[in-house]
Amino acid sequence: MSNSSAPDVPEVQLFTDGACSGNPGPGGWAFILRHLTSGKEKEASGAERETTNNRMELMGVIRGLQTLKRPVAVELVTDSTYVGRGLTEWMPKWKANGWRRREKGRWAEVKNEDLWRRLDTLIGRHRVRFTHVRGHSGHPENERCDKLAVAAYQKFLKK
C-alpha cells in the first residue's frame, strides 16, 4: 500500500467519507486534509448525479490525495471498510491477477476498477497508513465529512 515501509509518524491526516441517496443514486464525497505540524486544514466536497456509495467513498480518498503537492506520510482515516480492505487486502491480489478477481470460481471484473487504478497511482506517491473509524459514532472529522458529502449531493434531489 505504500512506496516504502509504513510511516511511523504521519505528516498529514486525510479524513474522508462518501454518501448516497439510493444506491445507485445521487452521491457525494468529502475530505478534510490536516497538516499535523502547522495544523492547517483544507476541506472539499463534490457530487455526482448517478453513482454508488462505494464510488463516492473512493472519490473522497482520491480527491484528498490529489490535493497533496509532494510525497508525504499520510494517515487515511475513513469509516469505509470497502476502501480499507480494498487497499490492504484486495488491491494487491487484483493487480497480481491483471485487475481481475475471483467470483464463484471464475474471473470477474473488479468493480470500480477505474477508481481503484487511480487510487493505486496516488498511493504509490505517498506512504499511506489506513485507520478505520466507526461511522456515525461521534468522530468529529468523520461526522463533518459525512455532512459535507450529504450536502454536496442535495442539489440533485428533486424538490
Reading the block at residue 90, the C-alpha cell is 484486495
64, β-bridge pairs: none
What amino acid positions are annotated as catalytic residues? 17-18, 57, 79, 136, 146
Residue 128 DSSP code: E
By CB atoms closer than 10 A (0-12, 13-18, 19+), residue 88 is middle
Longest dimension (CA), the chain: 50
Query: Is 16 within 8 Å of 31 (Cβ atoms)?
Result: yes
